[in-house]
Structure 1
Amino acid sequence: MSIRKELLDSLSEHRQTALLGGGQGRRDKQHARGQLSARERLECLFDAETFQEWGMHVEHACHDFGMEKTKLPCDGVITGVGHVDGLPVASFSQDFTVGGGALGQRHAKKICDVMDYALECGMPFVAINDSGGARIQEAVESLSGYGQVFYRNVMLSGSIPQIAIIAGNCAGGAAYSPALMDFLIMTRENANMFICGPQVIKAVTGVDATMEEIGGAVANASISGNVHFIADNDEHAIQLAKDLLSYLPPNNMQDPPHRPTTDISLDPDEVLNELVPEDAKAPLDMQAIIDRLVDGSQFLEVHRDFATNLIVGFGRIDGMVVGIIANQPNVKAGSLDIDASDKGARFIRFCNAFNVPLLTLVDIPGFLPGVGQERGGIIRHGAKMLFAYASATVPKITVIVRKAYGGSYLAMCSRDLRADIVFAWPTAEIAVMGAEGAVNVLYRKELEATEDKPALRQQLIDEYQEKFASPYMAAAHGMITDVIEPSQTRSVVSLALRNTVTKRAIRPPKKHGLIPL
């Protein structure tokens, strides 16, 4: 017996109401601002016809304050599971056209349900945020909803990758869910993220501030470091999320999507021999070296606009996924400061959680000196780098390009922090401090006793570098696996990645270590 026509008509009507969201007029306003609708964002993320929606017919739970007659299709959020490049991914997309995308009890439950499912099934989770915040009419139920979402963010952490897209409003408590996730992508226009807005700041502190200064994409990406990627628009933001997913495993129990090539190219890359300046004090562009190492010069840099004296990001070398951490001598001489230490430690811990091998490229004179750095806690922040590398159990390969002085040598994944393989270029200098400083300390009396100080100083510097700072000295003590020609770097790193991919490390039994936060 066929189903009655009126039932099919009712189903079609209910579905059409949900699909319209806040109505065509409100969607047109979003389009006029250069934004996609909530559903269009999901259509852009998922492979065609693969998205299965959850809770399409959910309605809000509030029946006070005139809300009893108010319709909120899908309760202002679309949730479900689909395929991204053939692999399952869970997601939600808040619908600003429906009650400003405000979060209420059932809105939160829909998000929590799909997060629970993502964790149980071991699939990545992508959150598309565009909300006016907590639904005031639902009072404490809204706050409870946020708490339940935050709790699940923490439960998912380290088990499945979490990516947040800030495509509109994300204010107050709503900002903490993205902050608890692994990567944040924010559109340059039409999006903001902050705890206290300009009016609150003015009322409490008397300071005038613009929204762009405190909550815009540039401020969040380059100053506070809250955001990892700035996108030009919604489509670009979603493409960045898909690019990220292409380097990541679906969960912490699986390896990244390595695509090892059949053959490893052992041909030398002579360009690498030309990238190091003859003058040891001249800045070196580490980005140029990374481009020569990764396949097709395709490198997805993370946190590009924040703490630019350190480069972090994902690439492939002969098809093997690798997380790269590199000093950038073009900025602050490549030294580690408070922000760079935080940036590096966070990236290292993410890679370790998701089985991504680490490649560290070193050219560092030390930790950044200064009263501000000391008073700001450079000791505590720098210790995060030491902790992150020492606790990482994934394959760790280090290449010392030039300077590696003092404690910063250790903080950039030395053999003592259990780097599996450490290569050094002939240009490497490994010592407690730079040759000039060491000579001034060790030979102060000899220098004071001669009239020809410049000549003697240069002689002593040359001798110190040869005897105490050369890579061969470190290699003689077993601190370096091999001294290699720069042109060999890609091939030896590629072989090292293949040789360490089966690494298994056993850690002391404990709940977790205590990183100096």
Structure 2
Amino acid sequence: MSWEKDLEELRRREALAEAMGGADRVARQKTSGKLTARERVDALLDRGSFHETGKIAGKAEYGADNELASFRATPFVIGRGEIDGRPVCVQSDDFSVRGGAADAGIWQKLVFAEQMANEYRMPLIRMVDGTGGGGSVKMLEKDPRTYIPQTPGWEWVVANMASVPVVALALGPCAGLGAGRVAASHYSVMVQGLSQVFVAGPPVARAIGENVDKEGLGGADINGKNGVVDDIVTSEAEAFAAARKFLSYLPASIHELPARIEPRDVPDRREDTLVSIVPRDRRVPYKMRRIIEASVDAGSFFETGRQWGRGLITGFARIDGYSVAVLAGDPHFMGGAWTADVCRKLIKHVDLAQTFHLPVVHFVDCPGFAVGVKHERAATVKLGVQAMAAVYQARVPWCSIVVRQAFGLAGSAMMNPTRTKLRYCWPSGDWGSLPLEGGIEAAFKSELEAHPAPETRLAEIRAWAEALRSPFRTAESFYAEEIIDPRNTRPLLCEWINLAQRVGETGPSSFGMRP
């Protein structure tokens, strides 16, 4: 007795599932410039590696003969595949089935993928293109009652933040649960003009008196600058490439260390441009990214979060083939001062490094916390001490390159000073409890007012103070462990990263990372 007839039925149902929301809706999806759910999976993963789970799950109707009369697939495609030969879990929303509405789906499919990623220690990629999980008002016709809300499977979302890399690609309008799935990730991307992320869409906004379209409510220009997402790209292809790039720096889970890539750069490379890249005039900014790129393996720096918290540069790189997390002050934005957004950005990046055992390299240029009414209203002090706590809680190997400024509380958090201070200071280093500029006149006010030649005396005091600022005086007392030739930055970092591998630890951190 053969089961061929049943296998034919299986293939028929699989074909119905592959039709997704039907030819018209699939065509509409394509016309809007978007790929379909399965095309996205194919574009993201290694060719031929996808294994779909729950393909024939959906809403079926049967005739009087108990034969399948109609079938509508769920708006979620899930499964496992590979990226660069490494196993990953994938969720891909299907907007062609009722706009990706979760109330049209079977929520257990999404939970299955979250749980599988966690238990089998695989990175998870969510391709989000849909709405919330609670159902539309129209659903009340089928089930005439309201309910106390809950989010099934959210415990796995929380657990994954502390255990496996989670990437979220916003590839269409993402509202409610869709927006939550984007935000609850380690790395998130939006496509300019194609995706939006918001708690509720324009119709709900209009109900509270705000007449706005999708872009005005939750477009990339908003969410790229407020930190809801990490990066903005111009196409779906760029989003897939960014996801693959991000994952290349991370281990599959907290139970592994990041893999080393055979370096294509020499550890003793010395960049002559570093000698003169920092101007002697402390008021003149310089290009910190050039310093990063000159110090890490050539072409390996991958910046994240470029559009928000702009006083701090964050990203990933390789040093002698090993993955590191990068922090760097950017003097082009308020001199690198720590604003509320900078503090939020630093907390996320340091916690991510701690979660996935990435050593941290910090290129320091920080004049302290941002000052003024605007920054007090933004609770910069509160967020600032949270950022300091993140630095002090981190236990991964840490190396700081003090390029220029380090002042005040924020400047003191260049690393946890209770641990071995592996930090290298450039001759351009300038540090203290507060910058001397503006403080000299106040400190010597009485003497200057009584002096017969106050301008001459002020010049003498400034010359005296300038001499005190010499980093060599700090090094005399071993308050600065090493003053280095900037050209030696890369060789020293390569030596340090190999030392760091001696103390690399796997397993869960003492605290779980939050979105």
After TM superposition, is the score higher than 0.5?
Answer: yes
Q: What is the CA-CA distance between 1:435 and the residue it aligns to?
A: 2.2
Alpha-carbon distance in 1 for matches of 2:325, 2:269 = 23
Question: Is it true that 1:9 corresponds to 2:12 in the alignment?
Answer: no
Q: Cα distance 1:263–1:303, how it changes in 2: closer, same or farther (>3 A)? A: closer
Q: What is the CA-CA distance between 1:262 and the residue it aligns to?
A: 9.0
When you count helix as a share of all residues, which structure comes out higher? 1
Question: Is it true that 1:488 corresponds to 2:492 in the alignment?
Answer: no
The match for 2:307 among 293, 305, 315 is: 305
Equivalent residue number for residue 147 of structure 1: 151
Q: Considering only aligned residues, what root-mean-square deviation do their CA atoms show, in Å?
A: 3.0
Equivalent residue number for residue 417 of structure 2: 416
The match for 1:407 among 395, 406, 409 is: 409
For the Cα contact (< 8 Å) 1:52–1:81, is it kept in 2?
A: yes
For the Cα contact (< 8 Å) 1:105–1:145, is it kept in 2?
A: no
Q: Deviations over 1:450-476 (max 9, x none)?
A: 344444334323322433x33334334
Alpha-carbon distance in 1 for matches of 2:61, 2:183 = 28
Alpha-carbon distance in 2 for matches of 1:146, 1:62 = 28
The match for 1:209 among 194, 207, 212 is: 212
Q: What is the CA-CA distance between 1:317 and the residue it aligns to?
A: 1.9
Q: Cα distance 1:62–1:419, how it changes in 2: closer, same or farther (>3 A)? A: farther
For the Cα contact (< 8 Å) 2:118–2:156, is it kept in 1?
A: no
Q: What is the CA-CA distance between 1:446 and the residue it aligns to?
A: 2.8
Question: Is it true that 1:172 corresponds to 2:176 in the alignment?
Answer: yes
Alpha-carbon distance in 2 for matches of 1:254, 1:293 = 26
Q: What is the CA-CA distance between 1:441 and the residue it aligns to?
A: 4.2
Alpha-carbon distance in 1 for matches of 2:97, 2:283 = 59
Equivalent residue number for residue 381 of structure 1: 383
Q: What is the CA-CA distance between 1:372 and the residue it aligns to?
A: 1.9
Q: What is the CA-CA distance between 1:123 and the residue it aligns to?
A: 0.7
Q: Cα distance 1:419–1:71, how it changes in 2: closer, same or farther (>3 A)? A: farther
Question: Which sits farther off after the overlay, 419-428 or 449-458?
Answer: 449-458
Q: What is the CA-CA distance between 1:484 and the residue it aligns to?
A: 0.4
Equivalent residue number for residue 502 of structure 1: 502
Equivalent residue number for residue 450 of structure 1: 451
Equivalent residue number for residue 38 of structure 1: 37
Q: Cα distance 1:454–1:353, how it changes in 2: closer, same or farther (>3 A)? A: farther
Alpha-carbon distance in 2 for matches of 1:194, 1:370 = 31
Alpha-carbon distance in 1 for matches of 2:59, 2:112 = 16
1:222-371 pair list within 5 angstroms? 222=225, 224-259=226-261, 261=263, 264-371=266-373
Alpha-carbon distance in 1 for matches of 2:10, 2:265 = 56
Q: Cα distance 1:416–1:458, how it changes in 2: closer, same or farther (>3 A)? A: farther
Q: What is the CA-CA distance between 1:17 and the residue it aligns to?
A: 1.2
For the Cα contact (< 8 Å) 1:103–1:142, is it kept in 2?
A: no
Question: Which sits farther off after the overlay, 127-136 or 34-43?
Answer: 127-136
Question: Which sits farther off after the overlay, 431-440 or 92-101?
Answer: 431-440
Equivalent residue number for residue 65 of structure 2: none
Alpha-carbon distance in 1 for matches of 2:114, 2:210 = 39
* Corresponding letter in the other structure for 1:367: F
1:17-166 pair list within 5 angstroms? 17-60=16-59, 71-73=71-73, 75-104=74-103, 107-134=106-133, 135-136=135-136, 137=139, 147-166=151-170
Q: Cα distance 1:99–1:146, how it changes in 2: closer, same or farther (>3 A)? A: farther
What SS does structure 2 have at the residue aligned with 1:361? strand
Q: Cα distance 1:346–1:164, how it changes in 2: closer, same or farther (>3 A)? A: same
Q: Deviations over 1:406-464 (max 9, x none)?
A: 11211332x52536411100110111111224423443333223344444334323322
Alpha-carbon distance in 2 for matches of 1:514, 1:227 = 16
Residue segments in structure 2 that go unaligned for 5+ positions in a row? 63-67
For the Cα contact (< 8 Å) 2:58–2:105, is it kept in 1?
A: yes
Alpha-carbon distance in 1 for matches of 2:222, 2:509 = 39
Q: Cα distance 1:324–1:180, how it changes in 2: closer, same or farther (>3 A)? A: same
Q: Cα distance 1:208–1:100, how it changes in 2: closer, same or farther (>3 A)? A: closer
Question: Is it true that 1:459 corresponds to 2:460 in the alignment?
Answer: yes
Q: Cα distance 1:52–1:384, how it changes in 2: closer, same or farther (>3 A)? A: same
Alpha-carbon distance in 2 for matches of 1:263, 1:235 = 28
Q: Deviations over 1:114-146 (max 9, x none)?
A: 211111111100001111333333769998997
For the Cα contact (< 8 Å) 1:361–1:400, is it kept in 2?
A: yes
Alpha-carbon distance in 2 for matches of 1:419, 1:458 = 40
Q: Which structure is higher in RCO with an 8 Å CA cutoff and minimum separation 6?
A: 2
Q: Cα distance 1:140–1:361, how it changes in 2: closer, same or farther (>3 A)? A: farther
Equivalent residue number for residue 434 of structure 1: 435
What is the TM-score of this pair, normalised by structure 2? 0.90
Alpha-carbon distance in 2 for matches of 1:389, 1:13 = 56
Q: Cα distance 1:505–1:167, how it changes in 2: closer, same or farther (>3 A)? A: closer
Q: Cα distance 1:189–1:514, how it changes in 2: closer, same or farther (>3 A)? A: closer
Q: What is the CA-CA distance between 1:104 and the residue it aligns to?
A: 3.6
Q: What is the CA-CA distance between 1:19 and the residue it aligns to?
A: 1.5
Q: Deviations over 1:33-91 (max 9, x none)?
A: 2111000000011111111111011124999xxxx986321x11111010100000001
Alpha-carbon distance in 2 for matches of 1:178, 1:126 = 10
Q: Cα distance 1:142–1:298, how it changes in 2: closer, same or farther (>3 A)? A: farther
Q: Deviations over 1:358-415 (max 9, x none)?
A: 11111121211111211221111111220111000111110111111111211332x5
Alpha-carbon distance in 1 for matches of 2:202, 2:26 = 27
What SS does structure 2 have at the residue aligned with 1:501? helix
Alpha-carbon distance in 2 for matches of 1:149, 1:449 = 73
What SS does structure 1 have at the residue aligned with 2:152? helix
For the Cα contact (< 8 Å) 1:430–1:474, is it kept in 2?
A: no
Equivalent residue number for residue 197 of structure 1: 201
Q: Deviations over 1:174-206 (max 9, x none)?
A: 3122222111111112211101333333332x3
Aligned length: 505
Q: What is the CA-CA distance between 1:214 and the residue it aligns to?
A: 2.1
Alpha-carbon distance in 2 for matches of 1:142, 1:133 = 15
Equivalent residue number for residue 182 of structure 1: 186
For the Cα contact (< 8 Å) 1:189–1:233, is it kept in 2?
A: no
Alpha-carbon distance in 1 for matches of 2:288, 2:222 = 25
Q: Cα distance 1:428–1:139, how it changes in 2: closer, same or farther (>3 A)? A: farther
Q: Cα distance 1:420–1:110, how it changes in 2: closer, same or farther (>3 A)? A: farther
What SS does structure 1 have at the residue aligned with 2:383? helix
Q: Cα distance 1:401–1:61, how it changes in 2: closer, same or farther (>3 A)? A: farther
Alpha-carbon distance in 1 for matches of 2:145, 2:261 = 47
What SS does structure 2 have at the residue aligned with 1:147? coil
Q: Cα distance 1:317–1:144, how it changes in 2: closer, same or farther (>3 A)? A: farther
Alpha-carbon distance in 1 for matches of 2:265, 2:301 = 21
Q: Cα distance 1:52–1:293, how it changes in 2: closer, same or farther (>3 A)? A: same
Equivalent residue number for residue 474 of structure 1: 474
Q: What is the CA-CA distance between 1:505 and the residue it aligns to?
A: 8.3
Q: What is the CA-CA distance between 1:502 and the residue it aligns to?
A: 2.2
* Corresponding letter in the other structure for 2:425: A
Q: Cα distance 1:374–1:323, how it changes in 2: closer, same or farther (>3 A)? A: same
Q: Deviations over 1:257-315 (max 9, x none)?
A: 22254985324211111211131211122112112122223321111111211110011
Question: Which sits farther off after the overlay, 256-265 or 455-464?
Answer: 256-265
Alpha-carbon distance in 2 for matches of 1:61, 1:142 = 25
Residue segments in structure 1 that go unaligned for 5+ positions in a row? none
